[in-house]
Amino acid sequence: MFAASGLNSRNNRRQALIRILFMLMTGLLILPVLIILTTLLYKGGPAISFEFLFGNPTNGMTEGGIFPALVGTIWLVAVALLFSVPLGVAAAIYLSEFAAENWFTRAINLAIINLAGVPSIVHALFGVGAFVLFMDFGTSILAASLTLAIMTLPVVIVATRESLQAVPYAFREACWNMGATRWQTIRRVVLPNAVSGILTGVILEVSRTAGETAPIMFTGAAFFLPFLPESVFDQTMAMSLHLFVISTQVPGVPDELPFGVALVLIAMVLIMNSFSIALRIYLRVNKKW
């Protein structure tokens, strides 16, 4: 008497088919990543050695290591984060917690959306005009990092704003009823509960910053510079530009060398992201709501 009806049986089969379809679609998303990583490990693995990681390029960049490019990439990512994260978080706090809904905030939101869609080569030309020439930073780590910071700023703003708005509004009301000011509520309650989401934007920024080539090509990255930078006003090599150069501009490069550089670049991004992901998981586990 409790047997499933024909309608229930059809619904269950349809649901099983949809579940299988979504599983296959997820597998198709993961498959290219696995193929890329496998190819890089197979073709670039033989190039990885102590000399490759900690040596300078030699013999016209057809031999030697990538240490100057590796250190330069860390410089670029760190300085870009130093400028973009505080500015992006501050802008998101204003838009989420202080700004009224009017034409001015709508114009700001439109500008953020448009900034996210600007091609990287346009950001490069803006960086040349604004930071290299107008502010007279020259072709330097500072000019390149500021260009990268401007380019990735929308990611930080959007991720932070979504995280702030995800904090229940009742938390704010409870603080205001206890006599806390708006800034005290944001600093003591809203921001601590939104940190895990903010780190998502930082993770995305690290990945994009480390892999961009056009914005740094004209503003601070050097074709060949076999020594380490001493300040933000020096030029530096970068992994992404180094990979482009040895893949397209330098003849006689061994086949495994570009794959080795790409493998190290991906590994470096994964290591940087792992720290942020571990911190984000820790904060989410210890969240009190």
Distance between CA atoms of 141 and 125, rounded to whole angstroms?
16
What pLDDT, on a 0 to 100 scale, did the predictor assign at position 128?
93
CA distances to 52, 214, 215, 238 from 123, in Å: 32, 8, 6, 17
What percent of the chain stands above pLDDT 70?
97
pLDDT digits (tens, 9 = 90+) for 38-65: 999 999 888 888 888 998 888 888 888 8
Which of 283, 129, 122 has its CA nearest to residue 202? 283
Burial of 104 (0-12, 13-18, 19+ CB in 10 A): exposed
For residue 226, give every residue at least 6 positions away whose Cβ sits within 8 Å of its Cβ, in sequence order, or none. Answer: 56, 57, 68
The pLDDT of residue 126 is 92
Assign 38 to helix, strand or coil.
helix
pLDDT confidence of residue 82? 93
- Among candidate residues 224, 172, 203, the one with its CA nearest the CA of residue 280: 203
Q: Does residue 80 register a pLDDT over 90?
A: yes
**Contact by Cβ (8 Å): 220, 235:** yes
Q: What is the mean pLDDT of residues 3-20?
A: 81
Task: Encode pLDDT of 165-187 as tens digits.
Answer: 888 888 888 888 888 888 899 98
